[in-house]
Structure 1
Amino acid sequence: MPWREGPSYRGWMGKDVHGRTGQDIDIRYITEDEIPLWDRAVARGFMRPHVADGSEFRRLQFEPGRWFGAFDESDGGRCVATFRSFDTELTVPGGATFQVDAITGVTVNATHRRRGLLTTMMSRDLEAARERGSAAAILIAAEYNIYGRYGFGPATRGNGWNIDLARAGGLRAGLPETPGGRIDFVTMEEVRKFGPELHERWRLTQPGAIGRTPLWWRLQTGEVTLPGFDWKEPFAALHRDAEGDVTGLIVYRVDDNWDGGYPNCTLTVASFLALDRATATALWRFALSVDWVRKVVVEYLGQDDPLPLLLNDPRGATPHAEDYDFMWLRLLDVPAAFGARTYGAPGRVVLQVSDPAGYAEGRWALEAAADGTGRCTATDDAPDLELGVSELGSLYLGAETVSRLAAASLVTELRPGAAADADLLLRTPLRAFNPDGF
Structure 2
Amino acid sequence: MSLEVRPVAESEFGDWVRALKTGFLRPPVVTDEEIQGRLPHVDLDRTLGVFDRGRIVATFRTFTQELSTVGGGSLGADAVSQVTVSPSHRRRGVLSRVMAADLATAKERGDAVATLIAAEYPIYGRYGFGPAAWTTEWSVDVTRAGLDPRRTGQPEDGGTIELSDAAEIRKIGPEVHRRTARVRAGVPNRDARGWDRGTGLGFQVEPWTEPFYAVYRSASGAVEGYAAYRVDDKWDDTKQPVNTATVHDLIACTPAAERALWRYLCSVDWVTTVRSGYRAPDDVLPLLLPDPRAARVVTHSDWLWVRVLDVAKVLEGRTYAGSGSLVLELRDEAGLAGGRYRLDASPEGAEVSRTTEDADLALDIAELGTLSLGDESVVRLGELGRVEELTAGAAARADVLLRASRRPWCPDMF
Q: Do both proteins adopt the same fold according to a TM-score greater than 0.5, normalized to the shorter chain?
A: yes
Shift of 1:32: 1.7
Q: Does the C-alpha gap of structure 1 residues 139 and 171 become closer, same or farther in structure 2, counting only changes over 3 Å?
A: farther
Write the letter of the residue equivalent to 1:416: A
2:45 counterpart (65, 80, 99): 65
Choose the corresponding residue for 1:386, options 362, 370, 394: 362
Mapped to 1, the partners of 2:260 and 2:120 lie a distance apart of: 38
Q: Does 1:433 pair with 2:409?
A: yes
Assess if the C-alpha contact under 8 Å between 2:341 and 2:353 holds in 1. Answer: yes
Instruction: Check conservation: 2:216, 2:224, Cα contact below 8 A.
Output: yes
TM-score by length of 1: 0.90
The yes-or-no answer on 1:159 pairing with 2:136 is yes
Determine the structure 1 residue equivalent to 2:342.
365
Equivalent in 85, 96, 104 of residue 127 of structure 1: 104
Distance 2:128 2:324 in 1: 26
Match of 1:339 in 2: 316
Provide the rounded CA distance (Å) in 1 between the counterparts of 2:285 and 2:327. 38
Q: Name the SS for the 2:135 alignment partner.
A: coil
* Greater displacement, 164-173 / 83-92: 164-173
Moved more, 164-173 or 241-250: 164-173
Distance 2:179 2:255 in 1: 15
Tell me the distance in 2 between the aligned counterparts of 1:317 and 1:226: 32
More strand by share: 2
Among 245, 259, 263, the alignment partner of 2:222 is: 245
CA contact 1:350–1:382 (8 Å) conserved in 2: yes
Match of 2:187 in 1: 209
> Do the aligned partners of residues 57 and 178 (structure 1) sit closer, same or farther apart at CA in structure 2, a change above 3 Å counting?
farther
In the alignment, what sits opposite 1:287?
265
Q: Which moved more, 1:176-185 or 1:324-333?
A: 176-185
1:31 maps to 9
Residue type at the aligned position of 1:335: A
Partner of 1:328: 305
Q: Confirm or deny: 8 A CA contact 1:209 1:435 kept in the other structure.
A: yes
The correspondence for 1:147, drawn from 124, 133, 156, is: 124
What is the percentage of aligned positions where both structures have the same residue? 44
Report the Cα distance in structure 2 between the residues aligned to 1:171 and 1:309, rounded to whole angstroms.
Answer: 15
- Give the structure 2 partner of residue 225 of structure 1: 203
The CA deviation string for residues 22-42 of structure 1, in whole angstroms up to 9 with x for no partner, is x23211011222111111000
Q: Which amino acid in 2 is paired with 1:184? A: E
Deviation at 1:177, TM superposition (A): 5.0
**2:278 matched to 1:307?**
no
- What's 1:183 paired with? 161
Structure 2, unaligned runs of 5 or more: none
Partner SS state of residue 343, structure 1: coil
SS at match of 1:359: coil
What is the aligned partner in structure 1 of residue 245 from structure 2?
267
TM-superposed CA distance for 1:224, in Å, is 2.6
Q: Which amino acid aligns with 2:26?
A: R
Residue 86 (structure 1) shift: 0.4
2 CA distance for matches of 1:400 and 1:281?
A: 26
User: How many residues align structurally?
Assistant: 408
Equivalent of residue 316 in structure 1, options 286, 294, 299 = 294
Task: Find the aligned partners of 2:357 and 2:144 in 1 and give their Cα distance.
Answer: 57
Rounded to whole Å, the distance in 1 between the matches of 2:338 and 2:317 is 19
Aligned partners of 1:97, 1:171: CA distance in 2, in Å? 41
**Using the alignment, how far apart are the partners of 2:202 and 2:284 within structure 1?**
35
Once residues 282 and 348 of structure 1 are traced to their aligned partners in structure 2, the CA distance between those partners, rounded to angstroms, is 41
Q: TM-score, normalised by structure 2?
A: 0.95
Quickly say closer, same or farther: Cα 1:129–1:66, change in 2 above 3 A: same
Q: 1:47 and 1:223, CA in 2 relative to 1: closer, same or farther beyond 3 A?
A: same
**Counterpart amino acid of residue 60 in structure 1:** P
Give 1:427 deviation, angstroms: 2.2
Q: Deviations over 1:262-289 (max 9, x none)?
A: 1111111111111212222221221111
Superimposed CA distance per residue, residues 100-149 of structure 1 (whole angstroms, 9 cap, x where no aligned partner): 10000100101011222211211121111112211000000111111001
CA distance in 2, matches of 1:382, 1:244: 56
What SS is found at the alignment partner of 2:43?
A: coil
- What value does the CA root-mean-square deviation take over the aligned residues? 1.7
Instruction: Provide the C-alpha distance between the structure 2 equivalents of 1:201 and 1:34, rounded to a whole number of angstroms.
Output: 39
Q: Is the 8 A contact 1:225 1:231 kept in 2?
A: no
CA contact (8 A) 1:160 1:301 kept: yes
1:248 counterpart SS class: strand
What displacement does 1:179 show? 4.5
Q: Displacement, 1:248?
A: 1.0
Task: Give me the whole-angstrom Cα distance separating, in 2, the residues matched to 1:366 and 1:178.
Answer: 46
- Tell me which amino acid in the other structure corresponds to 2:413: G
Question: Structure 2: which amino acid aligns with 1:247?
Answer: E
- Over 3 Å counting, the alpha-carbon distance change for 1:358 and 1:171 in structure 2 is farther
Matched with 1:5 is none
Q: Does 1:84 align with 2:61?
A: yes
Gaps of 5+ in 1: 1-22
Is the contact made by 1:298 and 1:320 (CA closer than 8 Å) also made in structure 2?
Answer: no
Counterpart amino acid of residue 151 in structure 1: G
Provide the secondary structure at the position in 2 that maps to 1:320.
Answer: strand
Q: What residue identity is the alignment partner of 2:214?
A: A
1:405 maps to 2:370: no
Stretch of structure 1 that moved more, 35-44 or 264-273: 264-273
> Contact conserved, 1:27 with 1:121, CA < 8 A, in 2?
yes
3-state SS of the aligned residue for 1:158? Answer: strand
Query: Alpha-carbon deviation of 1:330?
Result: 0.2
